[in-house]
Amino acid sequence: MHRVMLVLRSIVFMLWMYGLMILMGLLCLPLLAGPRSWVKRVVILWIKLVLLGLRAFCGIHLNIEGKEHLPKGGALIACKHQAMVDVLWPWIACDDPALIFKRELGFLPIFGWYALKLKNIMVNRKGHAVALRKMVRRAHELAGTGRQIIIFPEGTRTTPGQTLAYKSGVAALYQQMDVPCVPVALNSGLHWPAHGLVLTPGIITVRILPPIAPGLKRKVFMQTLQQQIEAASKELLTHKR
């Protein structure tokens, strides 16, 4: 019976989240012709309503630690990725984030329209070196306007405790942007799995770690980044409540 209730509550939440996306996305469609700031307000409102539903329907609370480590202005933020909530929290914690997404997401109805209007960075994974150069150039431009670039260095969602090789893109951004890199650990996959429907009650913790100063050698930076993110993420695995 407990499992059945979890499934039912998860279904209700999914209907809430995607239903709001469709309803608000269509009602606010004319705003796409206006300033980006209007669309940003709509997206932040949607995210707050999603998090409200997450608490009400699934008993999941979001806790963001270490906001004091977020720099003002242009920065690079490298985040562990285990659940959809990982693409939501930057919009309520950072001043003006720009997320790096795979290009295919930009083709999605509603989600893609708003993601493009917010000037996120869409990357063609099949483009290899050309795509990497375009990503770095675009990230450099946006950081120069004061935006925080969010990248998931493993390139995909992982399960709790899993570590994949960190992609070269994060190193290229760090070297070319010449801004601090903020590591972010989390345990979102404990309660919102990357694959599967059932969400389980508890606290999702996003832990923002102290920035890594610019100027490190590529190998040293990659080792430092991965060690800090993975160590903190593994520590958060014990926070299941």
> Which pLDDT value is given to residue 131?
84
Question: HEC states along 145-164?
Answer: CCCEEEECCCCCCCCCCCCC
Buried-state track 20-55, b at ≥16 Cβ within 10 A, e below 16: bbeebbeebeebeeeeeeebbebbeebbeebbebbe
When pLDDT is averaged across residues 74-90 and rounded to a whole number, the result is: 95
Cα–Cα dist 230/223, whole Å:
11
How many CA atoms within 13 Å lie on the side-chain side of 134? 15
When pLDDT is averaged across residues 166-191 and rounded to a whole number, the result is: 94
Q: Identify the structural domains of the chain with CATH numbers, from first to last.
A: 61-239 (3.40.1130.10)
Residue showing tokens 């963001």 = 64
Residue 127 has pLDDT above 80, yes or no: no
What tens digit of pLDDT does each residue of 1-50 get? 588 899 999 999 999 999 999 999 999 999 999 999 999 999 999 999 99
Query: Whole-prediction pTM value?
Result: 0.93
Q: Tokens for 73, please give them.
A: 């202005």
Residue 241 has pLDDT above 60, yes or no: no
Beta strand 202-208 with 181-186: parallel, antiparallel or unpaired? antiparallel
Cα–Cα dist 50/67, whole Å:
21
